[in-house]
Amino acid sequence: MTVTDNLFDNLRLELRRGCLTLAVLAQLREEHYGYTLRKALAERGMVIDESTLYPLLRRLETQGLLASQWREEDKRNKRFYRLNADGEQMLGQLLAEWNQTNAAIQNILDNQL
Amino acid sequence: MEILDRYLQAVKKQLPLKRQDDIIAELRANLEAQLEDKESALGRPLTTGESEDWLRELGAPVQVAAKYQPQQYLIGPMLFPTFWYVLKLVWLWATVIYVIVNVVKIAGAPSGTALLDAVLQWPLALATSTAWVTLIFAAIEFAVRQYPEKWRQMGVPLPVGGDWQPSSLPLLEKDAEGGKKPKSRSAAIAEVIFGFVLLVWLLLVPYHPYLLLGPGALYLQGSPFQLAPVMVTVYWVLVALTGLKFVWIALQLGRGRWQQTQPPVHKWIEAMGLIPMGMLLATPQHLFVTLKNPALDQARYGSALEAINKSIYLCALLVVAIAAMELVWWLGKMGMGAWRRRVAA
């Protein structure tokens, strides 16, 4: 791997970090357990490693943005997550920020063309 | 699947005890669901090789477990510059003390082996001092991180975002006194720590003379000489001045004003150091050390006593002369600076 590839990977990782949280919060307006959430995100183009997604769910729950519940499904106990009221509010604020950032970058690019 | 069980067991061992069962139960449910999907897509169970590839993709157990835990460090980014500054100072002083002690030791009984031993054990002395400094800073980091509110209530400024003060920004170098580089926060914290250590050391010396004289304390105990009462008075004046300086630098740090050079109180405190030296010079007959039993020992140790007192007097005279010249030089610089500012205005 060249230095440029390495740098790109690092910058890409930084860029994606916040977006992953936003994507997970948005997807969890519907209830999911870890694996189905990962599949749902991947189907929409947001591929996330298991080792990133599952700890992220725990952190978001600890931060009070998700509610979780152990429940049996297909003869197996699974932990289901869903956005709670605080999470809904946070998602709204983050989406507004996301849209503003997106518009600003688009504006900068448009002005340079 | 046995290899998945082994994988989960390895992850579990790296997790905090309190949460490991819950995390592993969730991880197992997710991974088993994923495995079922894979096997139903293939229409057969995974081969050993395929299972290993899949687990390799998931990541090493230690890495997976680490992601479930908050980022951990012994000394955080806020304390690290101070830690590094203090560590370099400690290495310097540890080396100086180590060299002095070993020179004295080897001078007493010169031998090649003793010299080799001293050289080979020097890294060990540095490693020991590094371990102590690291331990102390790790304890400070832990205390600050665990109980930030208690520290704030006690009025201790914490090196974290909320307590940051714009007045603590470094001065522009061209505006600093005499063009000198302004003192950094790390240097100011180190000065407070060393001030405290010096004060404690001074207070302990009368009860534990080996802290000052090392093994020489034993010789002093058995010698016919003792310190004259004036030395005790001088000692307490020194303690008072050291305490005063420590309080001042700690207050300056606490108020975020360690870079301010006006008013130069610390310089005046240093100038007050001339008082105990003046007391020494004014001692009648320059008797700083006396004999414990003059009737018995005068004939034998009288000339040695005279030489010791004369040496102390000359040393005190030299120190006073140097300190007085430095004070005059500093006062002259202050006067010139004030005169230039008045002319410029």
According to the 3-state scheme, what is the secondary structure of B238-302? HHHHHHHHHHHHHHHHHCCCCCCCCCCHHHHHHHHCHHHHHHHHCCHHHCCEEECCHHHHHHHHH
What is the pLDDT, as a whole number, of residue B175? 52
**CB-CB: which of A35, A55, A77 is closest to B34?**
A35
Of B11, B9, B2, B5, the closest CA to residue B61 belongs to: B11
**Using CA atoms, how far apart are residues B273 and B244, in angstroms rounded to an integer?**
11
Percent of chain B with pLDDT over 70: 81
Q: How far apart are the first and last CA of chain B?
A: 87
Chain A residues in contact with B63 (beta carbon < 8 A): 51
Whether the predicted pLDDT of B43 surpasses 80: yes
What integer is the mean pLDDT of B262-269? 66
Chain B residues in contact with A38 (beta carbon < 8 A): 30
The H-assigned helical ranges of chain B are 2-13, 20-42, 48-58, 61-66, 80-108, 112-146, 148-153, 185-204, 210-213, 216-222, 229-254, 265-272, 274-281, 294-344
* Band of pLDDT at residue A71, cut at 50, 70 and 90: very high
Which residue type, as a one-letter code, is found at position A107? Answer: N
Q: What DSSP designation does A63 have? A: T
What integer is the mean pLDDT of B1-22? 90
The CA distance from B34 to the nearest CA of chain A, in Å, is 7
What is the pLDDT, as a whole number, of residue B330? 81
**CB-CB: which of B27, B37, B63 is closest to A54?**
B27
What is the pLDDT, as a whole number, of residue B44? 92
The CA distance from A34 to the nearest CA of chain B, in Å, is 6
Which tops the pLDDT comparison, B190 or A38?
A38
Flag if B30 and A34 touch (Cβ within 8 Å): yes
Flag if B30 and A58 touch (Cβ within 8 Å): no
Assess contact for A57 and A81: CB atoms under 8 A.
yes
Which tops the pLDDT comparison, B252 or B132?
B132
Of B241, B232, B231, the closest CA to residue B316 belongs to: B231
What integer is the mean pLDDT of A9-25? 92
Assess contact for B250 and B269: CB atoms under 8 A.
no
Whether the predicted pLDDT of B162 surpasses 60: no
Testing the interface with A: which of B21, B67, B68, B69 to mutate, by most A Cβ within 10 A?
B67
Q: What DSSP designation does B132 have? A: H
Whether the predicted pLDDT of B238 surpasses 80: yes
Mean pLDDT estimate for chain A: 92
What is the pLDDT, as a whole number, of residue B266? 66
Q: Cβ–Cβ contacts within 10 Å for residue B83, how many?
A: 23
What is the pLDDT, as a whole number, of residue B337? 77
What is the pLDDT, as a whole number, of residue A30? 95
**Using CA atoms, how far apart are residues B32 and B116, in angstroms rounded to an integer?**
63
What is the pLDDT, as a whole number, of residue B166? 64
Testing the interface with A: which of B7, B26, B28 to mutate, by most A Cβ within 10 A?
B26
The CA distance from B37 to the nearest CA of chain A, in Å, is 10
Chain A residues in contact with B68 (beta carbon < 8 A): 54-55, 58
The CA distance from A80 to the nearest CA of chain B, in Å, is 10
Task: Please compute Rg for chain B using Cα positions.
Answer: 32
Is A49 within 8 Å of chain B by CB?
yes
Whether the predicted pLDDT of B157 surpasses 70: no
Whether the predicted pLDDT of B208 surpasses 80: no
Percent of chain A with pLDDT over 70: 98
What is the pLDDT, as a whole number, of residue B109? 67
What is the pLDDT, as a whole number, of residue B250? 82
Assess contact for B85 and B190: CB atoms under 8 A.
yes
* Band of pLDDT at residue B101, cut at 50, 70 and 90: confident
Query: Which residues, listed in sequence order, are joined to residue B88 by a DSSP beta bridge?
Result: none
Is A88 within 8 Å of chain B by CB?
no
Is A18 within 8 Å of chain B by CB?
no
**CB-CB: which of A33, A49, A58 is closest to B30?**
A33
Mean pLDDT estimate for chain B: 80
What is the pLDDT, as a whole number, of residue A33? 95
What integer is the mean pLDDT of B49-61? 90
Assess contact for B14 and B65: CB atoms under 8 A.
yes
**CB-CB: which of B25, B34, B67 is closest to A52?**
B67
Assess contact for B301 and B224: CB atoms under 8 A.
yes
**CB-CB: which of B29, B58, B68 is closest to A77?**
B29
What is the pLDDT, as a whole number, of residue B108? 63
What is the pLDDT, as a whole number, of residue B107? 66
Is A35 within 8 Å of chain B by CB?
yes
* Band of pLDDT at residue B145, cut at 50, 70 and 90: confident
Residue in chain B nearest A48 by alpha carbon: B58
Flag if A58 and B68 touch (Cβ within 8 Å): yes
What integer is the mean pLDDT of B64-69? 88
Which tops the pLDDT comparison, B6 or A74?
B6
What region, left, alpha or beta, does residue B178 occupy, with left being phi > 0 and alpha being psi -120 to 50 degrees? left
**Using CA atoms, how far apart are residues A27 and A21, in angstroms rounded to an integer?**
10
* Band of pLDDT at residue B26, cut at 50, 70 and 90: very high
What is the pLDDT, as a whole number, of residue B167? 63
Flag if A50 and B58 touch (Cβ within 8 Å): yes
Which tops the pLDDT comparison, B261 or A48?
A48
Residue in chain A nearest B30 by alpha carbon: A35
* Band of pLDDT at residue B281, cut at 50, 70 and 90: confident
What integer is the mean pLDDT of B78-106? 81
| CB-based contacts of B235, cutoff 8 Å, min separation 6 | B202, B206
What is the pLDDT, as a whole number, of residue B161? 52
Chain A residues in contact with B32 (beta carbon < 8 A): 76
Flag if B25 and A77 touch (Cβ within 8 Å): yes
Assess contact for B3 and B61: CB atoms under 8 A.
no
**Using CA atoms, how far apart are residues B31 and B37, in angstroms rounded to an integer?**
10
